[in-house]
């Protein structure tokens, strides 16, 4: 009555199709499946919203804007995250929370094949290289 072979093939195709977003994301290295280290200081919020993907999509533009403001325009006013004030700084702020650059920034960048040149000049915290 049942054709086991066809059922297995059918199920495999179904699973493959439903899981498309997962393996497509993994192949692109941008999936939430990627194991990233949460900030060890117990912070729960980032500079911009995280859950909707804003931070993931816009952190490069944000850093670029900070750099222009600080270096070109001398605007060193602070940004507030969860009621605490932070400098507009790559090392002091981003790596102040994400202190393990290897397990956070690098892991995602390696998967996405991006190599920001920032660390030629900027210093990453000890132990996180």
Maximum Cα–Cα distance for the chain, whole Å?
Answer: 78
Distances (CA, A) of 82 to 36, 47, 49, 57, 68: 21, 9, 12, 21, 24
Q: Based on CB atoms, which residue is closest to ligand HEC, 10 or 116?
A: 116
Q: Based on CB atoms, which residue is closest to ligand HEC, 8 or 68?
A: 68
Q: Based on CB atoms, which residue is closest to ligand HEC, 26 or 118?
A: 118
Euclidean distance between CA atoms 36 and 105, whole angstroms: 8
Tokens of 70: 């600080």
Q: How far is the CB of 21 from ligand HEC (least distance, A)?
A: 15
Euclidean distance between CA atoms 101 and 129, whole angstroms: 6
- Residue carrying structure tokens 């280290």: 37
Provide the binding-site residues for ligand HEC, judged by CB under 6 A: 30, 36, 38-39, 43-47, 50, 55-56, 59-60, 62-63, 66-67, 70-71, 81, 86, 88-94, 96-98, 104-105, 108-109, 112, 114, 116-118, 120-122
Q: How far is the CB of 19 from ligand HEC (least distance, A)?
A: 20
Q: Based on CB atoms, which residue is closest to ligand HEC, 26 or 96?
A: 96
Chain centre distance of CA 89: 17
């Amino acid at each position: 009555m049942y054709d086991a072979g066809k059922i297995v093939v059918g199920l495999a195709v179904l699973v493959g199709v439903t899981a498309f977003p997962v393996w497509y994301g993994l192949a692109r290295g941008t999936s939430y499946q990627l194991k990233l280290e949460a900030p060890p200081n117990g912070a729960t919020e980032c500079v911009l919203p995280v859950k909707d993907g804003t931070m993931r999509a816009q952190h490069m533009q944000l850093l670029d804007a900070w750099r222009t403001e600080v270096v070109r325009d001398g605007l060193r006013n602070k940004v507030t995250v969860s009621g605490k004030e932070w400098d507009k700084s790559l090392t002091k702020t981003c790596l102040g929370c994400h202190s393990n650059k290897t397990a956070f920034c690098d892991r995602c960048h390696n998967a996405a094949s991006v190599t920001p040149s920032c660390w030629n000049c900027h210093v990453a915290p000890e132990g996180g290289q």
